[in-house]
């Protein structure tokens, strides 16, 4: 996910690891190309969005002891590391990006627990997982209904699913998933949805929404803006819901509508 809201005319969010080079019109790239280019620096730049999400989402997670957990679109394995550290019995991360998985595979705690796969065709037998987490990835998925159906297939009755993404209002205000590398500013293809559309898609797949939580930046993210040299953007950024976190539960088999 992208880092610090900028004051650029496009209103996008850019990696704070970029230099003070003149701004350029961002290039729009596919998800595959975007994360191929972003992977080497993804874990390096200060990121208030991830900090905000982690602080709130961690508090929602249940006891993971003995659970089979799936980090869907795991990227560099940020959440998979955390889920295993919290006692998950079995943890697996899947992602379509070879480059992101390469970075994730260098982390000892999750090496050997990763698979390259499309979230629309998961390589798992039915009813394996008791918990799924999908962080800042839903906006890249064109066929959300198909993804939810696949989640319903691989999760157990009563399984919990936690998802986060850039808040629809932030997107409407011009925030974008993007970064800046040595070549140019980049914006990655997304398919924005309202929170209601997201909840409706999961409901159609047999998941009850337990929590729909909009998150705004606060004082705990202020220092991250400052370290990135973007403190002047902190106050206006706090006026917009930055992240949405949803908690779903799969309905027992036979009760889904």
- The predicted-structure confidence for 92-147, as pLDDT tens digits, reads as follows 999 999 999 999 999 999 999 999 999 999 999 999 999 999 999 999 999 999 99
- The predicted-structure confidence for 232-242, as pLDDT tens digits, reads as follows 999 999 999 99
**Closest to 253 (Cα-Cα) out of 142, 77, 126:** 126
Query: Measured on CA atoms in the order 81, 83, 87, 89, is the torsion positive or negative?
Result: negative
21 or 137: which carries more pLDDT confidence? 137
Query: Measured on CA atoms in the order 169, 139, 92, 181, is the torsion positive or negative?
Result: negative
**What is 151-177 written as a DSSP string?**
HHHHEEEEEEEEEEEE-HHHHHTT--S
| Nearby residues of 140 by Cβ (< 8 Å), 6 or more positions away | 31, 73, 177, 188, 189, 190, 191
Token code pair at residue 79:
């959440």
pLDDT at position 6, please? 42
Q: Contact at 8 Å (CB) between 225 and 48?
A: yes
Token code pair at residue 237:
């950024």
pLDDT at position 45, please? 79
Q: Contact at 8 Å (CB) between 11 and 173?
A: yes
- The predicted-structure confidence for 183-235, as pLDDT tens digits, reads as follows 778 899 999 898 899 999 999 999 999 999 999 999 999 999 999 889 999 99
Average pLDDT of the residues of the chain = 88
- The predicted-structure confidence for 222-234, as pLDDT tens digits, reads as follows 999 999 889 999 9
Instruction: Answer whether residue 4 shows pLDDT above 80.
Output: no
Instruction: Answer whether residue 89 shows pLDDT above 50.
Output: yes
Q: Is 130 helix (H, G, I), strand (E, B) or coil?
A: strand
Q: Contact at 8 Å (CB) between 146 and 229?
A: no
pLDDT at position 20, please? 30
Q: Is 204 helix (H, G, I), strand (E, B) or coil?
A: helix
Residues forming beta bridges with residue 230, ordered by sequence position: none
| Nearby residues of 223 by Cβ (< 8 Å), 6 or more positions away | none
**Closest to 48 (Cα-Cα) out of 213, 242, 192:** 242
Give dist(CA 235, CA 217) in Å, integer.
Answer: 9
The maximal CA–CA distance of the chain, rounded, in angstroms, is 58
Q: Where are the alpha helices (DSSP H) in the chain?
A: 31-38, 48-60, 78-85, 98-104, 144-154, 168-172, 195-204, 219-227, 234-238
């Amino acid at each position: 996910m992208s880092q610090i809201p900028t004051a650029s005319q496009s209103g996008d969010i850019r990696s704070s690891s970029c230099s003070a080079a003149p701004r350029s019109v961002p290039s729009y790239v596919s998800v595959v190309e975007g994360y191929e280019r972003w992977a080497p620096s993804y874990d390096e730049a200060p990121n208030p969005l991830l900090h905000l999400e982690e602080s709130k989402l961690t508090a929602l997670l249940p006891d993971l002891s003995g659970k089979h957990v799936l980090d869907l679109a795991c990227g560099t394995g940020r959440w998979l590391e955390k889920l295993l550290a919290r006692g998950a019995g079995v943890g697996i991360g899947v992602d379509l990006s070879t480059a992101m998985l390469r970075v994730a595979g260098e982390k000892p705690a999750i090496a050997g627990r990763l698979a390259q796969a499309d979230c629309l065709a998961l390589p798992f037998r039915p009813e394996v997982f008791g918990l799924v987490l999908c962080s800042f990835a839903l906006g890249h998925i064109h066929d959300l209904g198909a993804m939810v159906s696949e989640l319903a297939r691989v999760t157990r009755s009563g399984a919990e699913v936690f998802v986060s993404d850039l808040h629809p209002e932030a997107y409407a205000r011009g925030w974008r998933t993007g970064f800046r590398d040595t070549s140019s500013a980049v914006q990655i293809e997304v398919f924005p949805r309202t929170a209601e559309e997201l909840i409706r898609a999961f409901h159609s797949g047999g998941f009850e929404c337990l929590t729909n939580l909009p998150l705004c930046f606060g004082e705990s993210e202020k220092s991250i803006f400052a370290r990135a040299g973007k403190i002047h953007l902190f106050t206006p950024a706090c006026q917009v819901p930055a992240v949405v976190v949803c908690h779903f539960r799969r309905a027992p088999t036979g009760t889904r509508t």
